[in-house]
Amino acid sequence: MSLQWIVFLAFLISSTVIASVYLYVALSSFKEKILENSEKFRFFFFLLLSITVAIYLILTLPKAPYFAFSQSPPDKVLHVVAKQFSFAISGFPITDEETFSRSLGNEVKVKKGEVVEFRVTSFDVNHGFGIYDPEGRLIAQVQAMPGYINRLRYRFKKVGIYTIQCLEYCGIAHAYMNAKMEVVP
Ligand SMILES: [Cu+2]
């Protein structure tokens, strides 16, 4: 079973449970009986919620990317500037409109296995910097914000053409705001 199906089934099961609780409460709200046991029910649901949240946190928190590669100095630094509706990526800092325009056509290549640090910012509004692998899966993302440089480190494990896509609605051509980069052996 693919990961997407597992996530879908987990969503289906948890939403069915939540919907059943709402339905149960709605259907039994006319009876007085439930009021007698309300303390017990409340405690039961609180316990159920706490256990569910704890399981999700234990499973997902170790995968949070905030501290990924924080101990390993990057092998390569790439400067990224987002501006309606394109990404300029360069090995050198992009400081103004001129360096931005010049960096637009850059062929971006990184080596497989090296830790790349993206320093991402924006020249206008908030954008999203999302990296998709050659199979079209989102593998890393960070916000591109005017006035801030957000760092994202990632180690590319597969050779191929990666797509960068804006993940924050930023205007009329948002859906077409993308760039390419290549991971070479
Ligand atoms: Cu956008």
pLDDT single digits (tens) 19-75? 999 999 888 777 666 566 778 888 999 999 999 999 999 998 887 776 777 777 889
How far is it, in rounded angstroms, from Cα 174 to Cα 127? 9
**Ion ligand 1: residues, Cβ under 5 Å:** 166, 170, 174, 177
Strand runs labelled E in 43-147: 76-83, 86-90, 109-111, 115-122, 127-132, 138-144
Q: Count the helices and strands in the chain (H runs, E runs).
A: 4, 9
Please say whether the beta carbons of 184 and 111 come within 8 A: yes
The rounded Å distance from CA 81 to ligand 1 centre is 13
- Least confident range from 56-65, 138-147, 171-180: namely 56-65
Stretch 170-183: mean pLDDT: 93
Nearest to 103 by CA among 72, 69, 78: 78
Share of the chain above pLDDT 90, in %: 66
What is the pTM assigned to this prediction? 0.69
Nearest to 129 by CA among 147, 114, 149: 149
The rounded Å distance from CA 144 to ligand 1 centre is 10
**How much is the pLDDT for 31?**
66
Beta bridge partners of 5: none
- 89-103 pLDDT, tens per residue? 998 889 888 888 888
Taking the chain, what is the end-to-end CA distance rounded to the nearest angstrom?
Answer: 30
**How much is the pLDDT for 35?**
62
| Mean residue pLDDT across the chain | 89
The rounded Å distance from CA 143 to ligand 1 centre is 10
**How much is the pLDDT for 168?**
94
- Least confident range from 3-17, 36-50, 77-91, 114-128: namely 36-50
The rounded Å distance from CA 92 to ligand 1 centre is 23
**How much is the pLDDT for 121?**
95
Reply yes or no on whether the pLDDT at 108 is more than 90: no
The rounded Å distance from CA 80 to ligand 1 centre is 14
**How much is the pLDDT for 33?**
61
Please say whether the beta carbons of 141 and 110 come within 8 A: no
Write the CA distances from 152 to 36, 47, 119, 176, integer angstroms. Answer: 54, 37, 7, 22
Residue 4 CA to its chain's centroid (Å): 15
**How much is the pLDDT for 34?**
56
How far is it, in rounded angstroms, from Cα 101 to Cα 123? 12
